[in-house]
Amino acid sequence: MNLHVPIREPLLDVRDLHTHFVTDTGTVKAVNGVSLQIEAGERVAIVGESGSGKSAMAMSLLRLLAHPGKVVAGEINLEGHDLNRMSERQLNDIRGAKIGTIFQDPMSSLDPVMRIADQMVPPIMRHLRLRRDAARAEAISWLDRVGIPDPSRRIDAYPFEMSGGMRQRVMIAMALSCRPRLVIADEPTTALDVTIQAQIVELLKELTAETGAAMIFITHDLGLVARFAHKVGVMYAGRLAEFGPVGDIFARPQHPYTQSLLDTIPPVDQQERRRLAQIPGFPPDMKRPVTGCAFKDRCPGAHRHCFEEAPELAARGNDHVAACWLPEGLGADRTVERPLVEPLAPTGIPGDDRVAVEINNLHKHFTGRSALPWRKPPTVRAVNGISMRIRRGETLGIVGESGCGKSTVARLLLGLDPATSGDIFIDGIAQMVFQDPASSFNPKMTLSSIIQEPLIVTGWGTRLEREDRVRELLGQVGLDESYMHRYPSQLSGGQRQRVAIARALALKPSVVVADEPTSALDVSVRAQIINLLMDLKQQLRVSFVFISHDLLTVSYVADMIAVMYLGEVVEYGSADEVFHTPAHPYTQALIAAMPIPDPAAEAARVQTPLSGELPSPLSLPPGCSFASRCPKATDYCRSHKMVLKPYSATRETACHYAN
Amino acid sequence: MAHFSIPLPARRTVSIDLSRFNGIVRLLANRRVQLALMILVPILLLTTFRSVLPIAGPLETNLRAMTKAPSLEHLFGTDRMGRDIFSRTLAGIQISMFVGFAVALLSLIVGLVVGTLAGFFGGAIDRVMMTITDIFLAFPSLLLAIGLVSVMGTGMLPVVLAISLSDVPRFIRLQRSMALSLRSRAYIDAARTVKASHLWLMTRHIVPNTIASLLVAASIAAANAILVEAGLSFLGLGIMPPAPSLGNLIRDGQSYLEQAWWISTLPGAVILLIAISLHFLSDGIRQVLDPRSRK
């Protein structure tokens, strides 16, 4: 081994880490020889597809693996002590004290039956050797620093009394309260809305800078990486494929896998409406031994050597290493693989002005039960007066944070729930692609009967005709007919979403409503599904309603965008305009909060995250519903309701001060 | 409706999907199921073919062989009227098995229908059905059975009905809760968007996904029914003597326990064996169905 003498001892020095999960069907080599060094104060992002071993790697550092995971070899040196040789008791002094952890789901990582104080104070007492009252004061000061209002009272709250964003702040306070040298955060913002995510990311940046703690940040969101990280590690099949400074990785990626991952992201610049790159194939089965490079089967540049010997990490520049036999990975040629998408006119099909969907003053109110019979029952105005038109062949993107009513609009469009008032006209039928590919299908039905179901129910054709239609549909979504007799459990997430699209297209609908169709998928698969939707839109001239919280994807897919906030559309117009020159302060905030997968652009942006959270939908403010969080709000806004008004020829906005 | 003109492929391959039988194969590979079948299958064979076995009929008395201890001639011995206990036990098992099967089937069907309707439709239908169910759940099952038998008289039908009446609410509850959670699945929404009928949704999407759990409950209910039937007969509220129900056999021998232990003990042991193996069977089914308990 090449033993160079470091000028400064790294904070964390991991050498040749191996983690295995022994199961009845074989040993999963989740981490297969990872070495990396992290300096104090450094923020390192680890990216990779699900199953690449990034979470297993992070949990191995703490030896907090779920059964039957086990670190089988390697050194984990933290400030000169090998954690892998420590006893469980010694480790307990490290966990929390030297290493803090932030998990993905703030709902399940706090104990629901314990007050915040009971979860925060004992670790502080133990690790900082403080008495109870001093530890409590310390905890309160941390809650204050993470932005919990009224911390001396909230410390005695239970987790369920707080919102998801607040709980994640508590998690951060807990992780940092014992002044750890290293913080491990496993997808800490994935469960949160974009504006809250922006707040949390800024908070983490600030606090780690302040305490000088290093951070390992696991994520699949390359935009977040660009915003947050100093260094990036790309994991593939249990190994580091590439590791280097964030600017270098984005500007000069060296490994074909990193290069492909970066190309799967929709471009920010709409002028360059290229097809997204997609990574063919699947990651290797981690139970089988791999000969040669693990990425060779999916790599367009693979040659003989790649099949014979696995490449080791080798220097590719300052601090930049990559494990690939090709000197520049796929090099600059890789752009040739991506033909440009034929740009569609923003109005849908040229010369076809017919309307596919028309929505007039749509309302959906959910009425609860009042606590006392003479009180007015609480009412949530999930959709509160929406009017829209979708032309044939046009894609409407609906964006907004959770609770804005976007999914309710979808259910109303499909006729799954009755509207409270207003009307919906659909020229033809509407079909749906759901978010969660796992619960979209009856597990007891074959794909053939799943796709046939709409045909059978509507009495379409004979059995043979229906089976032919299933073959045709499978072909359209890029699956061959051998899939007909498979069950949903035998498919990957991306394949399931293809089947969901095939089922939605079976009856030749005029509009397909897709509610977060890609958010449960890995980035590489996400690109495949988006490409497929774009192709189908052009081939079949079907209108899409694309609902997502991911603005970048929506702006890429959609012709028109509607931005929703608390049941109302606050801005509506052509995708380009809304995305590049947002008029409404909320749209502006959403776009500012959205991380851009470009470190240089991210560094140039001034971050002023939107403050506050959604007001309770049970008691909406009388005026503009956004006034409580709006930087431009005046007394007029707080007392007067805003409605959509024309802003330009192709745009409407509901803000008094938009001009 | 549009018609798709696609040339038929020249040859259609008919493929039989083997994974369809996966469940049964996995079930037979399960240790507990094997153990249960090893006990239940011989017992069932013996009872089915007892008429061709070289043993006396269950009601045949033999005054020259009263209260004989178990021997090769009378495997389980004889009672005070010289009736062959082994033969009577086999006949009793037949009755017990019938009661167990009838109760399980009846509970399954009623539970499936009522539970699906209540869980799927919710609202007023659910509330009415669940209130009635809860009332039945509030009575101890034996009390309910005693009440019913005292109204309808003794015999096979009242016994089956009485036991079912106390089992059915549990089946309804179980099926309702499963239907309730399945009702909001995305695939049901997908079928709703094409205006699938309620009957279609219930028979195609809900029942196939709940039937396995109900079968587990049914095999436990069968074991329980056999025990309750024996209990009712023992109390004189079940099958009327001289019909040889297992409960009757135990009651017959009760007063002779000191002189002729075999009259009660051996049929009792058979009841135990059957109940245990039915529990093994349900445990095995549950293990096969529940992916978490699989290693």
Which pLDDT band, with edges at 50, 70 and 90, does A45 fall under? very high
What are all long-range contacts of A226-230, with beta carbons under 8 Å and residues at least 24 apart? A226/A250, A226/A595, A226/A596, A226/A597, A226/A598, A226/A599, A226/A601, A226/A602, A227/A201, A227/A595, A227/A596, A227/A599, A227/A602, A228/A43, A228/A45, A228/A201, A228/A204, A228/A595, A229/A43, A229/A44, A229/A45, A230/A42, A230/A43, A230/A44
Q: Which residues of B touch A462 (CB under 8 A)?
A: none
Q: What is the pLDDT of residues A474-509, one digit of tens each?
A: 999 988 888 888 888 888 888 899 999 999 999 999
As beta bridge partners, residue B78 has B84
Is 60 exceeded by the pLDDT of residue A337? no
- Residues A105, A191 contacting (CB under 8 angstroms): yes
* Whether pLDDT at A226 is above 80: yes
* Confidence (pLDDT) at B6: 42
Quote the pLDDT of residue B292.
54
Q: Are A54 and A47 in contact (CB under 8 A)?
A: yes
Q: How many folded domains does chain B comprise?
A: 1
Per-residue pLDDT at A470 exceeds 90: yes
Joined tokens for residue A24: 């009845």
Q: Do B185 and A439 touch (CB under 8 A)?
A: yes
What is the tens place of the pLDDT at every residue in A370-404? Answer: 777 777 778 888 888 899 889 888 899 999 888 88
Average pLDDT over residues A549-553: 86
CATH superfamily of A355-368+378-584: P-loop containing nucleotide triphosphate hydrolases (3.40.50.300)
The answer to whether A12-98+180-333 and A355-368+378-584 have equal CATH topology is yes
- Residue A327 pairs in a beta bridge with A329
Asked if residue A214 has pLDDT above 90, the reply is yes
CB contact under 8 A, A432 and B193: yes
H or E element at residue A145 = helix A132-145
In degrees to the nearest 10, what's the CA dihedral of A83, A84, A85, A87? 70
* Domain encompassing residue B270: 27-48+75-293
Interatomic CA distance for residues B193 and B136, integer angstroms: 38
Domain assignments of chain A as residue spans, ordered by start: 12-98+180-333, 355-368+378-584
Q: Is A132 on the interface with B (CB under 8 A)?
A: no
Distance from CA of A244 to the nearest CA of B (A): 40
Given a cut of 90, whether residue B226 has pLDDT beyond it is no
Contact A184, A145 (CB under 8 A): no
Render A500-523 in DSSP notation, one character per residue.
HHHHHHTT--SEEEEESTTTTS-H
Architecture of domain A12-98+180-333: 3-Layer(aba) Sandwich (3.40)
pLDDT tens string A239-268: 999 999 999 998 888 898 998 888 888 877
Q: Is the peptide bond before A300 cis (omega within 30 degrees of 0)?
A: no
Question: For position B9, what pLDDT does the model report?
Answer: 44
Mean pLDDT of A113-120: 92
How do strand A421-426 and strand A355-367 relate by DSSP bridges? Answer: antiparallel
Pairwise CA distance, residues A565 & A567, whole Å:
6
| The dihedral sign for the CA sequence A594, A598, A603, A604 | negative
Greatest alpha-carbon span in chain A = 80
Show residues of chain B in contact with A545, CB under 8 Å: none
Residue A7's pLDDT is 54
The reply to whether A460 touches chain B by the CB within 8 Å rule is yes
Nearest CA distance, A371 vs chain B (angstrom): 20
> Is B60 within the bounds of a domain?
no
Considering chain B, what is the average pLDDT of its residues? Answer: 82
Confidence band for A334, pLDDT divided at 50, 70 and 90: low
Whether A440 has its CB under 8 Å from any CB of chain B: the answer is yes
At A233 the pLDDT is 94
Best probe of the B interface among A412, A429, A453, by most B CBs < 10 A, is A453
What is the distance in angstroms between the Cα of B75 and the nearest Cα belonging to chain A? 46
The structure tokens 């109302």 sit at A568
For residue B129, tell me if it sits in a domain. yes
